[in-house]
Each structure stands twice: as structure tokens, then as C-alpha cells.
Amino acid sequence: MSPQSWIDLKQDAETGIETIRAHFVGHAYDPHWHDSYLVGYTEQGIQQFHCRRTIHSSTPGKAFTLEPGEIHDGYAIAPDGFTYSMLYLDAQWVERELRALFEEAPAHCQPGFTQTLTENPTLIVAIQRAFSVLQQPELRIVRQTTLDTLLGQLTTQLHWRARQGLDPRLPLVAQRARDYLHDHLDQDVGLDDLAAVSGVDRFRLTRAFKAAFGIAPHAYLVQLRLARARHLLARGATPADVAVALGFADQSHLGRWFLRAYGLTPALYRKRCSNLPDA
């Protein structure tokens, strides 16, 4: 991260929502995903990123919405960089609240976003107000009303898609390998292990996996571990303990990957989310 770049992060204790305001010059972060819904807007500059196999350019006046698991990166294409504000919305919280809004929501479906970028001034205002109310002490009724307004605006970007274990659009061998990684994310998994459960050689498996999920199996495993690391750190676990629990070689190994994906160190993330002293 360049010396001109900075990140301000805070986690709301009641909802678990993370508020992030950041400025990046040059490269911001490597391809990664979150297990949260990401909702935000670019304040200044041009924020360029890859997502859904497309290059997007977010500029002031555009809101961006990403679903859990969507791989994206980030970088500035102008010398003065870009600044953005974003909310990380817990996936279970979002689905529960949206089902309260949609009394006829289909039973075996989950909420998704119809597009990644949209020019929607009303949605941006709702994001701004939610960001503000989560950053300062406020009456619960005000906070809840503000978040309800945000959810209401998100419905303009919403569609319900079938929740299914196997996606017919993706190669079965890649889905088997993905499921194995989820079940063994803390173990020293090899390509031969994935090939064995998938029923193909490791070269065909790697090609199928990249075609299905956009990254190689080893990078997917790292992202799984990083997503889990965020949860553990936010609950107060030390970076050293998290590194051991998730199969990283050591704390420095975790730190290098975490910084590349999220733009801040595990220790700083833990401090911002848990308010605990440095460990």
C-alpha cells in the first residue's frame, strides 16, 4: 500500500456491520472476496476493479453492490487515487431483514444484486446516512430506521436466486473441489487431494477450477482462510492464534496475505473491530 493510502475501519457491535472509508493511490488490493454483502460508493477519483468477468470503473455518483463470494480487486488509474465509503453487511442479517420486508420472498432462494454498478442518487444518500449513524452514538430507533431505509433502497437492486448446492452452469469437478476446500480450509490440502475427490487429474482440475471461479485452487483456499481470519480477529483472537488455527505458516505469513487482500494488517483490523489492545 502506498504511503498516500489510508483506511478507516469500524465495526458496529449490535449489527456486526463494518464501516470502511479508504483512500488508495495506485494498487489497492489483490483479487479477493468477502462473505458479506458490500454496499458503497466512490467519493472521489476513479475506482477500477474486476468483478463478474468485467472491468468496472466507479466514479462519484455511482453506487456499487457486491454479493458474498464475488471476487474483485481494486486500483486507481489516476495519479490522485480514489476515495470510497463502504458498508460490509453480514449475509445472515441481510437475508433475515430482507425476508421481513418481502413477506412473499421465495423459500429456497437467497438475495442477490442485479448489477455491480448503478447511478442511483437515492441509494447513495441511504448509504451515506447509514454510514453516519453507525459511526456515532445514536438512539436505537434512529439507527434501525436508517438501516431499514437502506434495505428498502437495496430492494431496487435485488433479485432472488435459487439456493442450490450444485450449480448446473459450473463443472462438477470444480464444485467438488470447492466443497472439499470449504470442509478442509485449515488443513495442508494438495492438488492431488483435490484431484482424488474430483475424479480428474490435477491439470484438468486446475483449468476447470479457474474457469468456474476465476482463481486457482490455492488462491481460493487462501481466500477462505482470510475470510475466516476476519471473523476470528473481530472477536478478539490474536493474529498469532489465528495463523495457527487456519494453517498459515506463521503470523507473518497471515499478515502478508491479509494486507494484500484488505489493505491493513491483522493486528490493526483486530484493534479496529474489537477495541482490544494490540497483541
- The answer to which of 83-87, 112-116, 170-174 has the lowest mean pLDDT is 170-174
**CA gap 125, 31 in Å, rounded:** 28
- Whether residue 279 is predicted with pLDDT greater than 60 in this model: the reply is no
- Whether residue 150 is predicted with pLDDT greater than 80 in this model: the reply is yes
**Confidence grade of residue 166 (pLDDT, cut at 50, 70, 90):** low
State percent of the chain over pLDDT 70.
Answer: 95
- Whether residue 277 is predicted with pLDDT greater than 60 in this model: the reply is no
| pLDDT of amino acid 182 | 93
- Whether residue 167 is predicted with pLDDT greater than 70 in this model: the reply is no
Question: HEC profile for the chain?
Answer: CCCCCEEEEEECCCCCCEEEEEEECCEEEEEECCCEEEEEEEEECCEEEEECCEEEEECCCCEEEECCCCCEEEEECCCCCEEEEEEEEEHHHHHHHHHHHCCCCCCCEEEEECCCEECCHHHHHHHHHHHHHHCCCCCHHHHHHHHHHHHHHHHHHEEEEECCCCCCCCCHHHHHHHHHHHHCCCCCCCHHHHHHHHCCCHHHHHHHHHHHHCCCHHHHHHHHHHHHHHHHHHCCCCHHHHHHHCCCCCHHHHHHHHHHHHCCCHHHHHHHHHCCCCC
Please name each of the domains of the chain with its CATH number.
6-162 (2.60.120.280), 172-274 (1.10.10.60)
| pLDDT of amino acid 46 | 95
| pLDDT of amino acid 234 | 87
Predicted confidence (pLDDT) per residue in 248-263, tens digit: 989 999 999 998 888 8
Q: Which residue has the higher pLDDT, 104 or 156?
A: 156
- Whether residue 273 is predicted with pLDDT greater than 70 in this model: the reply is yes
Predicted confidence (pLDDT) per residue in 32-82, tens digit: 889 899 999 999 999 999 998 899 999 999 999 999 989 999 999 999 999
- Whether residue 127 is predicted with pLDDT greater than 60 in this model: the reply is yes
Predicted confidence (pLDDT) per residue in 213-257, tens digit: 888 999 999 999 999 999 899 889 999 999 999 999 899 999 999
Q: Is the overall model pTM greater than 0.85, yes or no?
A: no
